[in-house]
Structure 1
Amino acid sequence: MTERLKRTLVLVRHGQSEWNEANLFTGWHDVALTSLGIKEAQRAGKALKIHGFRFDLAFTSALQRAKNTCRLILDELGQQDIPVIEDAALNERHYGDLCGLNKAEAAERWGEDQVRTWRRSFEATPPGGESLKTTAERVIPFVETSILPEVVSGKSVLVAAHGNSLRSLIMELEGMSPEQIEELSLATAVPRIYRLNEDGSIAKRYDLKDEE
C-alpha cells in the first residue's frame, strides 16, 4: 500500500436499483441492481483503479444492491480476495409502511408535505419505519467500533452501503448538525474519499467523479 493511501476511507452508495428506477421507497426490501446500476458500480471501480486506489478491507450491508456494488468495484480493482464484512447495521433506513410505494402515490395518500418531511427530516418517522435519527443510532456505533479504528490504524477501507446509512456515517465523521445532514444527498456509485489524520480528524475530503 502506498503512503498516500494510508488512513483512507472511501464511501460509495450502491448503483441504481430496480426500485430506484421505479421511484419506489425501498428501505430493507432486498432488490437487485439494474443494468445501469451494474455499469455505475463498474465505472466507480474503474475510476478508483485509475487513481491508484487499493483497499485492505471492505464493509457493506446485508442487502444485495450494496453487496453487489462492493463486489463489482473490487472486481474492477482485481481485489476479490480482500476481507469483506457484511453487517445489517449498514442497511438502508427502514421506510415502514412507505416501502414498496411509488413516491407520487405516497404523496397522494399522506400529502406531499408530510412525505417530504419523512424523507428529509432528521427526526420524523414514517409509520412502522425508522427516522434518520434512529438509523444513525444503529449506524454510528458500528462505525465507531468497527470501521474508523481500521482506518485510523493506517488501512485503506471501502464502504459500499446506502444513501441514508452513509449520510449517518458522514454526519458522525464530519460533525454535521441535523439541519446540515437533511440537505445532503449522495449520487449513486460516486466514491466519496476521506483521508484521515492519526487522531481521526479529516485531512482531506473530495468526491471522485467517474472517469472513462
Structure 2
Amino acid sequence: MAILVMFRHGQSVWNLENKFTGWVDVDLTDKGKKEAKEAGEKLKGMHFDYAYSSDLKRAQETLKIALNEAGISHVPTTYDKALNERMYGDLQGLNKADTAKKFGDEQVHIWRRSYDIAPPNGESLKDTAARVIPYFEKEIAPKLKDDKNIVIAAHGNSLRALIMFLEKMTPDEILNFEIKTGVPREYQLDKNLKVIKVKNL
C-alpha cells in the first residue's frame, strides 16, 4: 500500500491581494509560510520516497518549508510545469472584484467555475487536467504502484484535476470542492491506485 499526500501552497501575495495568479511567479506571504510550517507539523513521523512540486516558487517554497518542519530531508524532489496552476491568460494579475465589474459577475463565474470554458488566452480546468493527469500517470503513478510514498505541493486547480482523477469525481463535484491553502490531503492507495482511504490531515 502506498501513501500519497498532496497540499496546496500557502497563501501567496496575490491570494492576499485577491488577484488571478495563474503562472505568474509570486512569493508566499508570512501567513503562507506559517501555513507551510503547519502542514509540515502534520507530516511529522511520515516517510516519503519522492517529492514533487510545480515550476512555481510558491509551491516549491511551501514544500521546502513543510519538509524541513517535518524533519524530512534528502527526499529526491522533482519540479515540473505540468503541475503548475491553471493558466488564467488575460485575467492574470487582475483583481477578481475589478474583473467582475469589467466583465460582469456571471461571465467571471463561468470562467472560474465551469469545467471546460477557459478565460481569454487561458486554460479551463479540463485543459489543466489534460496536462496534469498524463504527467501523473507517466511519472508518479508507477512509483505509487511500486509502494513508494509520495508528497506533492501544487495549486488549487492542478490538485483539483488530480483529486477528480483519483476520487472519480464528476466535473460538477470537483468544481464545488474547495482546497484550502496548506492543508495536506492523505491517500492510501492499492496497487491499482484505487483509494482505500482518504482524509485531510
Q: TM-score range by the shorter chain?
A: over 0.9
**Tell me, what secondary structure is at the counterpart of 2:72?**
coil
Select which of 109, 112, 126 maps to 2:119: 126
TM-score for both structures, normalised by structure 1: 0.93
8 Å CA contact 1:9, 1:193 repeated in 2: yes
Describe the superposition over 1:35-70 as per-residue Cα deviations: whole angstroms up to 9, x where unpaired. Answer: 000000001101111xx2121110000000000001
Q: Corresponding residue for 1:47? A: 42
CA contact (8 A) 2:42 2:70 kept: no
Q: Which letter does structure 2 place at the counterpart of 1:189?
A: G
Name 1:57's counterpart in structure 2. Answer: 50
Residue 82 (structure 2) pairs with residue 89 (structure 1): yes
**Counterparts of 2:154 and 2:192 in 1: how far apart (Å)?**
25
Report the Cα distance in structure 1 between the residues aligned to 2:84 and 2:191, rounded to whole angstroms: 28
State which drifts further: 187-196 or 174-183: 174-183
Other-structure match for 1:148: 141
Contact 1:54 1:77 in 2 (8 A): no
- Aligned CA-pair RMSD: 0.8
Question: What letter matches 2:168 in structure 1?
Answer: G
Q: For 2:28, which of 29, 33, 57 is the aligned residue?
A: 33
Unaligned runs of 5+ in 1: 1-5
State which of 100, 112, 115 in structure 1 corresponds to 2:108. 115
Relative to the length of structure 2, the TM-score reads: 0.98
Distance 1:148 1:174 in 2: 14
State the alpha-carbon separation in 1 of the partners of residues 182 and 144 from structure 2.
21
Q: Deviations over 1:84-124 (max 9, x none)?
A: 00000000000011100110000011100110111111011
CA distance in 1, matches of 2:114, 2:70: 37
> Which stretches of structure 1, 4 residues or more, deviate above 3 A after TM superposition?
none
* Structure 2 gap ranges (5+): none
